[in-house]
Structure 1
Amino acid sequence: MSIIIHSKYKSKEEAILQLVANFFNEGEMIVEGTRNTIKSNFLADEKVNIKFFQKPGIFKSIIYSFFRSTKAKRSFDYANYLLDHDILTPFPIAYIENRSSLGLLKDSYYICQQIDYDFTIRELIHNPLFPERNLILEQFAAFTFKMHEAKVNFLDHSPGNTLVVKKDSGKYEFYLIDLNRMKFENLSIEERMDNFKKMWLSKTMVKVVAKAYAKLSNQPEEKLQAILLDKTTQFKRKITKKKYLKRKIGRK
């Protein structure tokens, strides 16, 4: 086992290890997936989230052991990068990797602070009457612009991966979660608009986001609207086609 702990939590190493040791017997279930499981628990008097990454198949185990960082390490490193660039995400506490005697990855854990959020972008997307919907979309566009300016290409930039906290006076804070798929690179304006495609924006929302992003990027609003609408439409068609084919194959 190897454990990396943020400097602010070094004194709590024993308690962190205890949380991981008791992961399957304690804590509140948040997500129970086939590959990953997330639980909440308490580290002293602080509520934290623990994400368990199951043992990968032999091929991926070799990749993660010798050629690529594990999902737990990436989650930790990427969270630190985001916070260093003033992009909000739950504070990274530690990550743990279990390996075999040959050095092959078995399973891993990522521990971070829990955020008490009000809603995710998903609720906003699916409810046209959501309070202050356009205002939130404008601020979300500004948040994404800031992310892009920091050279962050968040590959899982989808509605469920942004937590929203309502502050006073119509101000909202946005927190990125599920961080292990990112690239750090300069993004063209077309690539920036492409990064919104998984948000499943309606035509009305496309107009709001494009207008807000145009003001910040000094790009023509009409140009961004056209690109964003095209990227969104293509993505929706692709997903719809996949679902149709799955249903058709399932009937056979």
Structure 2
Amino acid sequence: MHPMSVNSVIHNKFKDLKGSLNHIIFNFDSLGENFGNQDRNSLKLFELEGKTLNVKSFRVPNIINQIAYRFLRKSKAQRSFEYAKKLQSLDIGTPQPVAYYEFKTLLLFKKSYYISEQLDCDITYRELTTDFDYPNHEGILRAFTRFTYRLHEKQVNFLDHSPGNTLIKKVGEDYEFYLVDLNRMEFGEMNFETRIKNFARLTTHKSMVEVMSDEYAKMGGYDYDRVFNLMWSETEAFQERFYRKKRLKKKLRFWKTNK
């Protein structure tokens, strides 16, 4: 076995907590409490000096990616940390980044962890897709659309703009939005098609697409029909791809178990 090396980068604000953060990461499996969906990556909460920290443990990648992340690409944990700092510099909401850790051997990339402050929110965007009676449903949806427009104006293309990845917090009469799951982003000028395509994964409900199209058209001075037609066709295309993939996975599982 090659010896494992650890690389950690800690945000300036949390430098003095290095010992405690190391303790959390090195004992991740036995400490902390599970949080949310554990399917793909493991999320846990830890209490530290009056703060709740959210630690995301990324799965060990497949062998090709172990080589790629070791030598060619930034890890998901590093990208999450750097993108969070970038969003903060642009005044875009995201939970406070704390640190990231990477475990590597001489030739391969193994585990990585991203630590941020846990942010308590009222809802995520997902609740808007399931509870149409939620107070001020349309108002929140329009505010979310303005938030997305602002992202686009600041040249942020959040590639994982999906229902669970925007936390929503009511502050007085207003709403604040925070992005999570940050490891897939692109930065740069976005054309009309790229902007509207960014809404494709958010909802299956035509009524919600109509509201978002209306608000986005107002914000950008676009023609409503042009926005809606593209947003709805991109939404349908995404759904089609999503279910095709699901059916394929089911077939593969069936084939494997019946071999």
TM-score by length of 1: 0.93
Cα pair 2:162 2:202 within 8 Å, conserved: yes
Counterpart of 1:55? 60
CA distance in structure 2 between the partners assigned to 1:57 and 1:235 by the alignment: 26
Match of 2:232 among 229, 232, 236: 229
Counterpart of 2:14? 9
Alignment pair present for 1:77 and 2:109: no
CA distance in structure 2 between the partners assigned to 1:103 and 1:49 by the alignment: 29
Q: Deviations over 1:151-206 (max 9, x none)?
A: 1111111001111111112x111111111111112111111110100002422111
Counterpart of 2:125? 121
Q: Deviations over 1:30-73 (max 9, x none)?
A: 14635421100012111110111132222111100111000110
Aligned positions of 1:97-176 closer than 5 A: 97-100=102-105, 102-169=106-173, 171-176=174-179
1:249 is displaced (CA, Å) by 5.9
Please give the secondary structure, in 2, of the residue aligned with 1:142: helix
Cα pair 2:196 2:227 within 8 Å, conserved: yes
Q: CA RMSD, aligned part only?
A: 1.7
Counterpart of 2:220? 217
Please give the secondary structure, in 1, of the residue aligned with 2:99: strand
CA distance in structure 1 between the partners assigned to 2:244 and 2:66 by the alignment: 32
Counterpart of 2:3? none
Range 179-188 or range 69-78, more displaced: 179-188
Distance 1:196 1:107, change over 3 A: same
Range 234-243 or range 117-126, more displaced: 234-243
1:239 is displaced (CA, Å) by 2.2
1:251 is displaced (CA, Å) by 5.8
CA distance in structure 1 between the partners assigned to 2:155 and 2:206 by the alignment: 27
Alignment pair present for 1:180 and 2:183: yes
Unmatched 5+ stretches in structure 1: none
AA aligned opposite 1:235: F
Please give the secondary structure, in 2, of the residue aligned with 1:111: strand
AA aligned opposite 2:233: D
AA aligned opposite 1:138: R
Distance 1:155 1:215, change over 3 A: same
1:128 is displaced (CA, Å) by 2.1
AA aligned opposite 1:81: K
Cα pair 1:42 1:48 within 8 Å, conserved: yes
Q: Deviations over 1:99-149 (max 9, x none)?
A: 11x153221111000001111111111222222111011000011111111
AA aligned opposite 1:143: F
AA aligned opposite 2:7: S
TM-score by length of 2: 0.91
The number of equivalent residue pairs is: 250
Distance 1:141 1:201, change over 3 A: farther
Counterpart of 2:195? 192
Alignment pair present for 1:205 and 2:208: yes
Unmatched 5+ stretches in structure 2: 1-5
Counterpart of 1:92? 97
